[in-house]
Structure 1
């Protein structure tokens, strides 16, 4: 608890830094002479970085009068947002930065980011009208667009078909065809397969009883959400959330469909029957077992698609904001967006087709991409996000610890979550 208190305090300082450094409008922000741009990212993948640099070098070659070079700085994923805001506080902000969807409202509200809509709409050949409106929503405010959502990755379920077949269980693809792919059926199959295999059943990847926001892939189809749409009130005590948390608790401690605390099970190493995650994980499949990828199951409120997003923003008070915005328009134009689709599902409707995406994701079939990605973006809800998300994440995690015991009182835990969250939501 002491560690979490210190962490929350540090994240509070990060939020204050954003607010203090915000308010710029990009005017008089271009430095004298060609600019040397820097973008922070969290990827360390050599192929991805090589593609970024190739696009950047082409831009420099075409704009040598305004930009002398562009570099990409990798910051550790687990400390990424803190790393950016530390740079801002130290007077050394990047020109552009990737931004987590969970931090989007915080960054947008801070005033730290440049409104990109004018440059995107005015750039020849950019075709801003091709951007999927649902993908932009999280990054908009008062008509402005404060980051480009370069990655729009729906969650799906990877299935170890060998394990299910060995356990005599139906395959999700057949259940989908029969209109019977639900969380209840998925849990039944996961529990039965785990009992037969001695391995895990259904794993919500990266949850690990810490990143509770990943459970939104389940509770969204129960009609539940952690807070109201305007982010002002806690909804962990709503009937829908109580039902969802009760269901999750039962699958952990009663049926065994979901692994319990302390269990490490990597689906891609063959340690689980199914896992909820995004398509980028397909690169970890090595052909050692049969598998499939299917959409999230239906819940009591029907089928709800859930996506994780990441945006690229330009810092308004940076010395090269105008040049950085022009580069972002180049980096994400139709041609380059298609190249980036090899790793990041784009927000461009013209590129959301099986032919384009399969060319960039050879391990996935056109049918899988259509069902999970193309059909999974329009109308999807994003993972939880809030202008005060950093403090909320830590506070809610601390209260949810009491839920991860066999005899937990779900309603009492939900009430304690809201007691901790309400002051942070109000603030």
Structure 2
């Protein structure tokens, strides 16, 4: 029963119940996320505890769902009447969630929140999450993909470090592939594209954008897997996996942060995984330049409030608290913020003490200002699964790369 309804019931019974005597109604809200990282959860729980201190009747919990299949799990919960109150939403599915009516509008809540300063949240960061002037999610993370490298295993294989190649103007995909092949030949693994695992193929955008490749045309209507830039990029990747062993093949498990590999492509939020005991010499560098030149790729995630959740108004109020300037500054430790006042080396450096000013400037700030967001499309979940099934034929040693990519287009073109 809502507080207002409870008071009406008291009045109907002839009881003059003062407002202070109306008991608070406990309200639990649940946020679905794809991280189970202890450092992330500790920060989220800290923010939630501060909110509960101000709103004792509200309890916030975080539901960590596996990244692989995250969106499918989320939509299944919604369809089953068990929608979370809030959830992280991938950039690849932003269009579907924003246009479907599944998300509650947030603009009025943000504007009404004390000291929120909505104008500080950049329009470019909001663009994926806005429709007809209304905001449907807060872009809590706008994070470029960078390359973490293990200088110890690279030097042990007799190779130059990426920093040395950058200084010489020679940090290219050809050079990176040669380093990783040499490290693999010396007994470690080479390059790990984190969260790819031969399933999340769109994470390969962190490589193929260096060839100027894309899965579909800018208007989203035409499959472009068969165009030469994509054929060249996928041929490069296939050779790196099966001929040069520069990328771990299917079924090979390796963890860069455990010291198993030379390089990994991921975002700065994973810096928290760097070992505190028995650390190795590491660096964070921009993605290598490809045939199309220098480039950057951005992953972006929003937090939306589900209209079908149990407490959408409370959830929206919590989101306004979670994303206010003070908490956005705390979140910047792991997730590059969308607030223009926080996008500078001073703030990001204080939030990320493991990263040097050069790493923050060259990877994070430059990446945000120049990068392209990972590919997304209406109906992406179905497209993603269909393309994934077609690409299975690519992950064998004797694959016919152009033929496999044609089969991808044959299958997904009707969906575009």
| 1:38 pairs with one of 23, 29, 32 | 29
Could you list the per-position Cα deviations for residues 234-255 of structure 1 after superposition, in whole angstroms to 9, with x for gaps in the alignment? 1111221111111112222333
- Is residue 102 from structure 1 mapped to residue 92 from structure 2 by the alignment? yes
Q: 1:76 aligns with which of 49, 65, 84?
A: 65
Residue among 191, 194, 209 paired with 2:198: 209
Give ranges in structure 2 of 5+ residues lacking alignment. 6-23
Moved more, 350-359 or 155-164: 350-359
Hey, what does 1:258 align to over in structure 2?
247
Structure 2: distance between partners of 1:410 and 1:180: 28
**Counterpart mapping for 1:27-426 below 5 A:** 36-42=27-33, 43-62=35-54, 68-77=57-66, 78-195=68-185, 197-286=186-275, 287-318=278-309, 320-425=311-416
Task: Write the distance in 1 (CA, Å) between the matches of 2:243 and 2:46.
Answer: 52
Who wins on radius of gyration, i.e. which is larger? 2
SS across alignment from 1:401: helix
**Rounded Cα–Cα distance in structure 1 between residues aligned with 2:206 and 2:124:** 18
RMSD in angstroms over aligned alpha carbons? 2.4
Equivalenced residue count is: 393
Deviates more, 1:88-97 or 1:232-241: 88-97
* Contact residue 71 and residue 381 of structure 2 kept, 8 A: no
Measured after TM superposition, the shift of residue 348 of structure 1 is 1.3
Question: Deviation per CA, 1:25-69, whole angstroms, max 9, x where unpaired?
Answer: xxxx999675724132223445433433443343344456xxx20
* Structure 2 CA distance for partners of 1:396 and 1:69, relative to 1, 3 Å: same
Q: CA deviation at 1:156?
A: 0.9
Aligned-partner SS, 1:40: strand
Is the Cα–Cα contact under 8 Å of residues 57 and 69 in structure 1 kept in the other structure?
no
Deviation at 1:157, TM superposition (A): 0.9
* Higher mean displacement: 74-83 or 264-273: 74-83
The structure-2 alpha-carbon separation of the partners of 1:281 and 1:51, relative to structure 1 and needing over 3 Å to count, comes to closer
Unaligned runs of 5+ in 1: 1-28
Please identify, of 123-132 and 212-221, the stretch whose mean Cα deviation from structure 2 is larger. 123-132
Q: Is residue 142–residue 338 contact of structure 2 (8 Å, CA) maintained in 1?
A: yes
Q: Distance in 2 between matches of 1:121 and 1:361?
A: 29
